[in-house]
Each structure stands twice: as C-alpha cells, then as structure tokens.
C-alpha cells in the first residue's frame, strides 16, 4: 500500500493524469492534483477523490509552461514522494507550417516542466529516503508519425530525461521510468480527431480505425485505469529495481 506517501500528478484535472491520481489514491497515497486553472470544479475534483478513497487530496494550481510554477508546485506540496510528470499538449501540423509558439509551448509543458519538477523533488526524496518519478511519455517517445514534430521531440526527450534521472539516483532508493501509452481515448485525443479528419480527408470512424489505431494491433484504446495501474506498479516494492526504462502500454504498437 502507498499509505503515507504523497503523490504529485501534473496535469491531472482530466484524462490520464486524473486516472493515475485516482489509482494512486485507491492504493492509499495522498494526492496533489494540478493544472493551470483554479476553478471551483478543480478543487471539487480533489475533494471527491479524497472522500472516495479516504486519503488527503489537494488541488494546486501551477502552469507547467513556467519553470518557477513547476518548482513552486513541489515546494507547496511539501514532501513529494511520488512525482508523475503527465501534463501535456499536442499540435498537429507539418514542420514547415508548425507555429513556433506551439513548438515552444509543447517543449515547455511536455518536457521542460519535468526537468523543473524533478529538480525540485529529488532533494526531498533523498531526505526522506524513498522516491518514485514516473514520466508519462508516449509510443511517440519511441517511434514517430508525421505532423507531430514538437510532441515527438518532447516525448523522445522525456525518455532521455528519465534515463538520466535514473542514473543520477541509481544507488538510492529512488527510481525513474517512463510509461509509453499508445492511444488512450481522452480529451487530448478527442481533440485531434477533427484535425486528423481534415489532414487525411477521412470521416471520424475511418480516422479512428485506420489512422489512430492503425498502429495499435490490439485495435483497442488503452484506458486511464490501465495507466494508473502501471503507475501504482512502478511505485511498488516489486518495481524497486526497475529504473531508467520504458514500459509500453500500447496494445502492441512498438512491436510492429
């Protein structure tokens, strides 16, 4: 059980981050939810998780595109034992038309934020004598597709950052790994469907089957509960010697 551990999950008021927060709470961890908004519903989401699983659940606003706010999230948490770097955005366009602002935002949120949160969390983990860093990369951290240059660069980058973090903590009771999901039906993926329909000139069902799940041999989306379960496993004693690697949850995508 993760009783007494505190987990920070970046970008966790929706989708995979929320699913991971719920599974960590189910396993007994106190959780800190995060996004860049500060709405009543964000705090209510945390309160609901706290009530459902009998843990302490808080929501802390921090914009993961800003280094100072990434570090402040860890400081405000006070004693982060489990850090899940999950916040992420996507933009689909050919490289020669890719807006520089989108490139910069994707690199900042999907990659650089993990540098800042990890840098802030490691001293606390060392002081407390235990730690887990779980970076949510992607099948696109190991393979590429056209029109997603910034995302794929950031995801390959976070796989590299995970390996380096693992080596710098190798002799300590701290591990760092990257989870590489294939397609998971979340708001982020839902939002890509119209762009993909336009780019490929296809209807919705054809995009889902022939574009999105074309490379997912199982022909099924992975679920947020499965990603939460994988994260809980990486936090378990069984996973204490698993560090500096990637775990694919992709229905066979990277076996192709």
> Could you give the CA distance from residue 135 to residue 159 in angstroms, rounded to a whole number?
8
Q: How far is the CB of 171 from ligand NAD (least distance, A)?
A: 29
What residues line the site for ligand NAD (CB under 6 A)?
A: 11-17, 35-36, 63-65, 86-89, 109-110, 136, 138, 181, 183-184, 186-189
> Could you give the CA distance from residue 50 to residue 245 in angstroms, rounded to a whole number?
31
Backbone dihedral angles phi then psi of residue 20, each to the nearest 5 degrees: -65, -45
Give the bridge partners for 131, in sequence order.
174
> Could you give the CA distance from residue 80 to residue 147 in angstroms, rounded to a whole number?
36
Give the bridge partners for 82, in sequence order.
7, 132
Q: How far is the CB of 117 from ligand NAD (least distance, A)?
A: 11
Nearer to ligand NAD (CB atom), residue 53 or residue 59: 59
Nearer to ligand NAD (CB atom), residue 42 or residue 81: 42
Give the bridge partners for 247, in sequence order.
179
Nearer to ligand NAD (CB atom), residue 107 or residue 189: 189
**Strands, sheet with 30-35, edge to edge from the N-terminal-most edge strand:** 57-61, 30-35, 6-9, 82-85, 131-136, 174-181, 246-249
Q: Which two tokens stand for residue 14?
A: 């929706």
Residue 151 is among the residues annotated as catalytic for this protein = yes
> Could you give the CA distance from residue 74 to residue 115 in angstroms, rounded to a whole number?
12
- Gyration radius (Cα) of the chain, Å: 17
Q: How far is the CB of 63 from ligand NAD (least distance, A)?
A: 5
Per annotation, catalytic residue among 59, 147, 151, 183 = 151
Identify the residue whose tokens are 């407390």: 128
Identify the residue whose tokens are 């999105």: 212
Q: How far is the CB of 184 from ligand NAD (least distance, A)?
A: 4
Nearer to ligand NAD (CB atom), residue 17 or residue 131: 17
Q: How far is the CB of 241 from ligand NAD (least distance, A)?
A: 25
Nearer to ligand NAD (CB atom), residue 115 or residue 130: 115
Catalytic residues: 151
């Amino acid at each position: 059980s993760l009783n007494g551990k505190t987990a920070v999950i970046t970008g966790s008021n929706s989708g995979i981050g929320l699913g991971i927060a719920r599974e960590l709470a189910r396993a007994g961890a106190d959780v800190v939810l995060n996004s860049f908004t500060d709405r009543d519903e964000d705090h209510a989401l945390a309160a609901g998780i706290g009530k459902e699983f009998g843990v302490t659940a808080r929501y802390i606003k921090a914009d993961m595109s800003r280094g100072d706010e990434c570090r402040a999230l860890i400081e405000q948490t006070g004693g982060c034992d489990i850090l899940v770097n999950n916040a992420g955005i996507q933009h689909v366009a050919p490289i020669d038309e890719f807006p520089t602002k989108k490139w910069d935002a994707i690199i900042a949120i999907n990659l650089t934020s993990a540098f800042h949160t990890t840098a802030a969390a490691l001293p606390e983990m060392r002081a407390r004598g235990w730690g887990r860093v779980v970076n949510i990369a992607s099948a696109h951290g190991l393979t590429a597709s056209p029109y997603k240059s910034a995302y794929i660069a950031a995801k390959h980058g976070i796989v590299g950052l995970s390996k380096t973090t693992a080596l710098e903590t190798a002799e300590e009771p701290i591990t760092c790994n990257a989870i590489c999901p294939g397609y998971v039906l979340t708001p982020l993926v839902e939002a890509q469907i119209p762009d993909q329909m336009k780019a490929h000139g296809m209807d919705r069902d054809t995009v889902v089957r022939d574009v999105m799940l074309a490379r997912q041999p199982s022909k099924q989306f992975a679920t947020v509960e499965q990603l939460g379960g994988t994260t809980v496993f990486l936090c378990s004693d069984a996973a204490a010697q698993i560090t500096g690697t990637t775990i694919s949850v992709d229905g066979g995508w990277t076996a192709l």
